[in-house]
Structure formats: structure tokens, C-alpha cells
Amino acid sequence: MRDPAAAYLGSHGAGADSVAVCARAISQSSQGIGNDSARLASDSGGSPRKRGRFMDEDLGVIHHDGADPQGSLEIATPSRHPARPRSRRRVWIVAIAALLGVVLVLVGIKALQIRSMVNAGKSFAPPPESVTSAKVEATQWEASRSAVGTLVAVRAVTVASEVPGLVRRIGFESGAFVRRGDVLVELDASTEQAQLAAAKADAELARATLERSRTLRASDYSSAAEFDAADARAKQTTASVAQLQAVIAKKTIRAPFDGRVAIRQVELGQVLSSGTLVASLQSIHPIHADFWLPQQALTDLAPGMKVRLRTDVFPQQSWEGAVTTINPEVDVSTRNVRVRATFPNPDGRLRPGMFANVDVISPEKRPVLVIPSTAVIYAPYGDSVFALEKKEGANDAALIARQKFVRLGERRGDLVAVVSGLSAGETVVSSGAFKLRNGNAVVVRNDFAPAAELAPKPVDE
């Protein structure tokens, strides 16, 4: 009886070859070509039959020795637990273990480096910073209120022509000082002069007629109506003369008060109409300063209080004056009151319209603690300074900077008042505080420290 496997392969010869090829490809992919080559090399000393058997096993076909003379074949079923994948798994485990070992070594090295850097940072001491210092001084300041003012002339007027006419003479130069009554401009009055002569003649005739009428009326040779007409005529002609004299007087423009005249706006031979601007006239000695103060200042504000004025035009000079007028009403929009102070100005250096800083000084003084304004570090969360303290456990020359928050008051010149946060006699960093941190070591170098002054006077070098 024929072997069923041989019958199957006999009937499916081409299919058997395909099965053998697929089995060999699967075996190569699962075990690796290198493993097959090694096994074949180790088995190369066997018999041809045995080698053939092994090769056929690789192809998935088993040949029976002599049992089937027709060379029947048998499909080999793969083993459920092959040995080759186990060796491959061992290789993967060794590789992963080696990789983990390398990673652990690198992590250890990097951890040691970081730890050494941290230790070096803890033991590192930065070099001390060079700063300048100043003492917190206790002094007394005059209580004052500061404001921004505008200079106003005591008397100011815009000189203009009241009547039309032709400019015949100009009696001033632009910017000159003029006295009251000085002729500024003369207009042509020849027509009015001729009319005045005729009016005077009529007035003389009217007066003579009136005298004759009075004599005749006394003798009862004329009626009362004739006397009244003569009297009215005399008065009329007199009024005509006065009118022409007034017109002629208006043709001559004069200075209404002592002052300095501005740039002239007319030229010789120019025809002026009524209201034409001739020049501006300002009386600037003395001079007023108008400024505004909050309504709370009314409690201690009174006429006669001392006022100090400064302007950036003359930064090294100040003027002393007094409060002359306090406005009786408070502005409803700003709740401020307008105040006017008067200052002497004999040299005319102060001009109307100039900007000025005004300080209203109270007669009483108050104690304050002052430091240089350069010592303050301004910040949104609060102003602070760096106070100098001796470092514990070090020599007397070792100093450290401690940050202290302060509340500031009024500022004057290079100094600022400290309301709280410091005490008199403390030493603070006056310059160089911007580069410090709390606890930094410092070295005081006051060789080139600028002097803080209450009224500084900068000098260009």
C-alpha cells in the first residue's frame, strides 16, 4: 500500500516544492542565516545521507531511509519550543543590560559634576562692590509749599491808535524804557489844526456877540431871545474848539505809565485805522508771580508770607518776595486757590510770561532726617536704601549692605527727607546701590563722592 504522504506529494508535485521553499524561508528568518551556516559547518563531516537528512529537515521535508523505495516524503512539523529564539533572547538581554550600565555610568558622572558645581557655588564668595556712603543727618527744614507759577507784569497794556491817521513821527525804539507821558507815535493832524483855527475864530466872534447882547439886554435894547441865541452860539463854538483839540490830542499817542515797550508794530508813513496795534508796554518792576495751591493750604496761608522764586533761566539766582493777594474764591474744577506774590525786579531779568518755581515758606521749622536722593532705589513695591553694617565674625573693615524700605517726604535740592525706616547716624550707600543685593560685601570709596547740597549750583566744566 502506498504511503499517503508520497501519494499527496505525487499528486501535488509543484505544490510540494513550494511548501519546501516557504519552509526554508521561514526557518532562515527565524533562526538567521549565520546560525544555519554554523550548524551546517559543524555537520559537514557526516554521511551524505545524514547531511541530506538535515538539509531536508531545514526544508521541512523528511526522507525515510530505505523504508520507502520510492523516496516518499513527509512534511515535518515544526517544534513547539525551538532552541534558536532562546539564544537570540539572551543576546538582547545582554545588550539591554550593557546599555543600562552605560546610562547609569553617565548619570553618575553628571551627578558628580553637578554636586561639585553646587558645592563650589556655596563656597564661592563674590568680590566686594565699591560704593560711596553718607550719614543720615538730623536737621531742621522750613515748612514750605511748592508750586509752579507764571510771571505777570504789574501793569501791561497794548497801545493802539484810537483815531485813524497817517504816521508822521515815531518817538520810541523797540525794547526801550519809556516814561509816563512820552510821545510814542504822532499822526498827521494838519486838517484838524486848520479846523481848530476856524473854530477858534468862530468862538471869538460868538463871545463878542454875546458881550454886546448882554450890554444891550442890560439897557433893555434887545430882547431876551436875542441874548439867549447869542449865549448858545458862544457855547457851541467853544465846544467845537474843545472837540477839535481832543481829536488833535488823540493824534498824539503817549505812554500811559513807566515801562518797557515791546517791538513796534507800525512804520513811518503808515496809515492807521482805529484800533491798530502800535506796541505792547509792560511795567516789570516790581513783578507778580501767579500760582495755584490746594485748598488745604488756606489754613496756614496769609498775605505777607515769605515766598522764594527760582527759574531755570537763572539757576544760580533766587528772588525773595511776599504773598500780596489770595483769591477769595476756589476753582470749582480743580479745588485750588489762586495766589499772587510780588517780587522786586530792578534789573529787569524777570520777564512777564516766564515759568518759575515758587516756594511759600512758613515761619515755623520742623525736624527732619535727610539723606542724598541718589541713595534711594525707587520701585513700584516700595522705595528702599542700603544701610552699611559690620560683618559678623570679620575684621572691623568688613562691611555688608542691608536693604531697608523707607517712606520718603519732601525733596529739596540733592537731599530727600525720610519719614520712617532709618534713624539718625546710620550710614547708607549714597551711590552704587543699583548693583547691590541684600548681604553683599562692599568697600567704601568716598574719594570722588559728590557732595549733596540743599541748594546745588551746577557748574559746567
- DSSP result, 97-110: HHHHHHHHHHHHHH
Percent of the chain residues topping a pLDDT of 90: 24
Residue 124's pLDDT band (cuts 50, 70, 90): low
Strands 314-330 and 336-343: antiparallel
Residue 106's pLDDT band (cuts 50, 70, 90): very high
Q: What integer best gives the mean pLDDT of the chain? A: 79
Q: Is 273 helix (H, G, I), strand (E, B) or coil?
A: coil
Residue 395's pLDDT band (cuts 50, 70, 90): low
Residue 393's pLDDT band (cuts 50, 70, 90): low
Residue 369, CA distances (Å) to 376, 412, 451 in order: 14, 12, 17
**What average pLDDT does this structure show over 398-409?**
90
What is the model's pLDDT at position 458?
65
What is the model's pLDDT at position 287?
93
Residue with cell 552605560: 102
Q: How far apart are CA 241 and CA 203, in angstroms?
A: 8
What is the model's pLDDT at position 34?
43
Q: How far apart are CA 458 and CA 447, in angstroms?
A: 19
Q: Which of 49-58, 129-138, 274-283 has the lowest mean pLDDT?
A: 49-58
Please give the backbone phi and psi of residue 449, each rounded to the nearest 5 degrees, phi first.
-70, 130
Radius of gyration of the chain (CA): 59
Q: Which residues contact 235 (CB under 8 A, 6 or more apart)?
A: none
Q: How far apart are CA 113 and CA 90, in angstroms?
A: 35
Cβ(70)–Cβ(9) under 8 Å?
A: no
Higher pLDDT, 288 or 34: 288
Whether the pLDDT of residue 51 is over 70: the answer is no
What is the model's pLDDT at position 394?
56
Q: Is 176 helix (H, G, I), strand (E, B) or coil?
A: coil
Q: How far apart are CA 307 and CA 305, in angstroms?
A: 6
Higher pLDDT, 3 or 304: 304
What digits encode the pLDDT tens for the residues 63-103? 444 444 444 444 444 444 455 667 888 888 888 998 998 99
What is the model's pLDDT at position 348?
85
Q: Which amino acid is at 223?
A: S
> Whose CA is closest to 241, among 187, 191, 193?
193
Q: How far apart are CA 132 and CA 429, in angstroms?
A: 6
Residue 396's pLDDT band (cuts 50, 70, 90): low
Farthest-apart Cα atoms in the chain, separation: 203
Q: Is 276 helix (H, G, I), strand (E, B) or coil?
A: coil
> How many other CB atoms are there within 10 angstroms of residue 116's CB atom?
10
Cβ(448)–Cβ(147) under 8 Å?
A: no
Residue 341's pLDDT band (cuts 50, 70, 90): very high
**What average pLDDT does this structure show over 10-34?**
44
pTM of the full predicted structure?
0.52
**What average pLDDT does this structure show over 106-118?**
90
What is the model's pLDDT at position 410?
84
> Where do the domains of the chain lie?
4-82, 129-139+367-444, 144-149+283-365, 163-272
Please give the backbone phi and psi of residue 421, each rounded to the nearest 5 degrees, phi first.
110, -20
Whether the pLDDT of residue 376 is over 60: the answer is yes
Higher pLDDT, 6 or 100: 100
Q: How far apart are CA 323 and CA 307, in angstroms?
A: 7
Overall fold of domain 144-149+283-365 = Elongation Factor Tu (Ef-tu); domain 3 (2.40.30)
What is the model's pLDDT at position 13?
44
Provide the CB-side half-sphere exposure for 100 (13 A, CA).
6
What is the model's pLDDT at position 429?
92
What digits encode the pLDDT tens for the residues 260-298? 898 988 888 888 888 888 888 988 889 999 999 999 888
Strands 441-444 and 129-135: parallel
Is it true that 129-139+367-444 and 144-149+283-365 share their CATH fold?
no
**What average pLDDT does this structure show over 13-17?**
43
Q: Which amino acid is at 83?
A: A
Residue 459's pLDDT band (cuts 50, 70, 90): low
Whether the pLDDT of residue 125 is over 70: the answer is no
For residue 333, give the DSSP letter.
T
Overall fold of domain 129-139+367-444 = 2.40.420
Q: Which amino acid is at 207?
A: R
